[in-house]
């Protein structure tokens, strides 16, 4: 497992996209600051200048490329041959992408502190109370931590799709579709449906998790779930998708 982790980490670090992504993230965060406006400092700081929406897009592309491309060019055969077993290959890839996910969120918080010192938004104190009667710095940390869970859910879905579909383009397309229209599909399912108490647990609904934390009044009527319920169901779906992906990967013939 240690060798597989080293190998996957080495490959990830030698992808240009991995190094360019933080710069792209910074550019998008600055654009968000200019778009939302000078007087929305508290919202910008809480959401790291809308970094959750940008990070999830970056991970959809990087994650799908990192895994499914090796199915397309059959490089996965070499990995399996060099590794102790398929489990080491699958979970080493997952752990490395998860680490990159956490790193992007840490980078986003660092960028937020830098942008806070610029004229991009109105100066406010980090100790000012905002959401849930908590200081801004705590709101930012919790939003980032919750979004790590949301993006991990998307990563788990990407790995499952990569094991089912040997096409990088299709995996990216389906993942982006889930990100962009997932909440609208969920809202359509739940709108006026008598089985809302069951359908509210659908996986599309989980894309609301991060947004509902920092905009509870708007999204709770859409998701029909509390923050804790969304959190627990997201964690459950992560386990389901990761397990299903591994079982398919283990049985897959290359």
Asked whether residue 249 carries a pLDDT value surpassing 80, the answer given is yes
**DSSP of 175-199:** HHHHHHHHHHHHHHHHTT-TTHHHH
Residues 201 and 223: beta-carbon distance below 8 Å: no
Asked whether residue 188 carries a pLDDT value surpassing 80, the answer given is no
% pLDDT > 70, the chain: 93
Cα(250)–Cα(247) distance, integer angstroms: 5
65 or 33, greater pLDDT: 33
At 32-49, the pLDDT tens digits run 999 987 778 999 999 999
In terms of phi and psi (left: phi > 0; alpha: psi -120 to 50; beta: otherwise), the region of 97 is: alpha
Cα(48)–Cα(27) distance, integer angstroms: 13
pLDDT at 210: 95
Least confident residue range of 28-37, 115-124, 194-203: 194-203
Asked whether residue 180 carries a pLDDT value surpassing 90, the answer given is no
Asked whether residue 193 carries a pLDDT value surpassing 70, the answer given is no
Least confident residue range of 3-12, 143-152, 234-243: 3-12
pLDDT at 77: 67
- HSE-up of residue 160 (Cα within 13 Å, Cβ side): 16
pLDDT at 238: 97
Asked whether residue 24 carries a pLDDT value surpassing 90, the answer given is yes
% pLDDT > 90, the chain: 50
Mean pLDDT computed over every residue of the chain:
88
Angle, helix 2-13 to helix 75-82, in steps of 10 degrees: 150
């Amino acid at each position: 497992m240690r060798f597989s982790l080293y190998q996957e980490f080495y490959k990830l670090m030698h992808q240009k996209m991995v190094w360019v992504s933080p710069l792209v993230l910074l550019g998008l965060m600055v654009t968000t600051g200019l778009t939302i406006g000078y007087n929305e400092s508290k919202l910008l700081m809480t959401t790291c200048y809308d970094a959750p929406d940008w990070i999830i897009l970056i991970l959809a592309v990087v994650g799908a490329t990192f895994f499914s491309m090796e199915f397309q060019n059959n490089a996965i055969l070499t990995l399996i041959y060099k590794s102790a077993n398929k489990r080491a290959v699958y979970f080493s890839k997952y752990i490395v992408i998860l680490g990159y996910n956490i790193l992007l969120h840490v980078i986003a918080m660092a960028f937020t502190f830098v942008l806070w010192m610029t004229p991009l938004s109105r100066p406010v104190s980090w100790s000012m109370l905002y959401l849930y009667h908590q200081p801004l710095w705590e709101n930012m940390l919790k939003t980032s931590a919750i979004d790590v869970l949301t993006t991990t859910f998307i990563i788990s879905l990407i790995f499952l799709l990569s094991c089912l579909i040997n096409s990088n383009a299709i995996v990216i397309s389906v993942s982006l579709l889930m990100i962009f229209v997932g909440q609208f599909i969920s809202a359509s399912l739940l709108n006026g449906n008598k089985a809302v108490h069951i359908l509210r647990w659908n996986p599309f609904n989980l894309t609301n998790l991060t947004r509902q934390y920092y905009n509870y009044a708007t999204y709770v009527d859409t998701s029909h779930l509390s923050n804790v319920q969304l959190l627990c169901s997201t964690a459950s779906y992560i386990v389901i998708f990761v397990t299903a992906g591994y079982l398919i990967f283990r049985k897959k013939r290359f």
